[in-house]
Amino acid sequence: MIHLSGPYALAAVLAGLGTYGVLARRNAVLVLIGVELVLNAANVLLVATGSVGADTWQAGNVLALFIITIAAAEVCVALAVVLAVFRLRGDIDLSRAAAGPAAEQTEPAQATPLAAESRR
Amino acid sequence: MTSLDIAFAAVGTVAAASGLLAVTTRHVVHAALWLVVCLGAVAGCYLVLGAEFVALVQLLVYVGAVVVLVLFAPMLTRAPIGPNDEVTTGVAHRAVAGVLGGAVTGLLLAVLLPVAGSVRSRPGTTSTAVAEQLFGTWVWPFEALSLLLLVALIAAFAVSRMARDGQAASAPGGTTAPGATTAAGTASEGPAEEVAR
């Protein structure tokens, strides 16, 4: 016997925390951590609804496994993009990207040394 | 209030608290390590809910593989060790983000808690039943997912190769011969560029 309000409350809290993490972080890797929290909220919801009532096709468990697999693929591609951005720009600061393209188009040679200096 | 409810409250509190620390800490590496605690606690939640196979896959794939990838990224991008204010946005931005995150939580609670209903029985889901459905009803989505994983691997490789080629071509004073796009040329220029920085 289990009460469903506990798992539902945990899913809601994890989704809110993940949203905060995506919005409040500047480092691209930490944004990715927020995305993982949101995906886990969806997983908790799926497993909770699958564990009660008649789940003929085991949809809760199987879809949770699918989400875990998709998350692995997503992290793989996302980290490749993060490393590519780091090689091109010298940092992975997402809030600097808003002003970045104009500066990089005009002076591509100076953008990287300045970013390297600011990181030290 | 059954014993399962109490067990779920315990692991759920750990998951929520470590998730909060993962999104608020100023250490990049600590955030990844708190994510390990959070995902492990979520795996405990799956165990309490009776989904042993999902809990084990969560531990193997998420804690074992995904978090290791996330831990590698700060090393490869030379993240600073120690507290760093650069990883978060300003106070106003964080306040807006907190309001939006709270709004998401409130919205989900308002939608989900009324449908939670009263205490319901928990039929045990055996791994055998999950396996039968996974390779019976869900076999074509399962195969499509394996294709997705393969495409993601190739895409990650292609993205990293594209970035390296672009950097080699735009390197000032670099000897970018016409054959520089070969694997040997880029591999020999990539580390040199990294060291020069």
d(CA B111, CA B91): 30
Dihedral sign for Cα atoms in the order B26, B30, B36, B40: negative
| Average pLDDT estimate for A32-49 | 94
CATH architecture type of domain A5-119? Orthogonal Bundle (1.10)
Beta bridge partners of A25: B88
Kindly indicate the confidence band of residue B163, based on its pLDDT and cuts at 50, 70 and 90.
low
Sequence letter at residue B48: V
d(CA B113, CA B160): 45
pLDDT for the residue B82:
78
| Average pLDDT estimate for B30-59 | 94
Cβ–Cβ below 8 Å for A86 and B77: yes
Of A51-55, A79-83, B92-96, B111-115, the least confident: A51-55
Q: CB contact, 8 Å: A14 with chain B?
A: yes
d(CA B123, CA A53): 8
Cβ–Cβ below 8 Å for A16 and B104: yes
Q: Which residues of A touch B137 (CB under 8 A)?
A: 57-58, 62
Residue B149 tokens, joined? 């994983």
- What does the pLDDT look like over B71-119, one tens digit per residue? 888 888 887 777 888 888 889 999 999 999 999 999 999 999 988 876 6
> Where exactly are the structural domains of chain A?
5-119
- Compute how many other C-beta atoms are within 10 angstroms of the C-beta atom of residue A50: 23
Residue B123 tokens, joined? 């039929």
Which residues does B44 contact at the CB level (< 8 Å), separation at least 6? B11, B14, B15, B55
Rg (CA), chain A: 20
Integer angstrom CA distances of residue A115 from A96, B5, B76, B165: 10, 51, 16, 21
Cα-based angle B5, B10, B15 (whole degrees, multiple of 5):
120
Cβ–Cβ pairs < 8 A, chains A and B: 287
Residue A86 tokens, joined? 């780091």
Cα-based angle B82, B26, A43 (whole degrees, multiple of 5):
125
Q: CB contact, 8 Å: B51 with chain A?
A: yes
Cβ–Cβ below 8 Å for A21 and B23: yes
Shortest distance between the Cα of B113 and any Cα of chain A, in A, equals 6
pLDDT for the residue A106:
41
Shortest distance between the Cα of A16 and any Cα of chain B, in A, equals 4
Cβ–Cβ below 8 Å for A29 and B19: no
Note which residues in 135-194 of chain B have CB less than 8 A from chain A.
Answer: 137-138, 141-142, 145, 148-149, 151-153, 155-157, 159-160, 162-164, 166-167, 170, 172, 193
d(CA A97, CA A85): 10
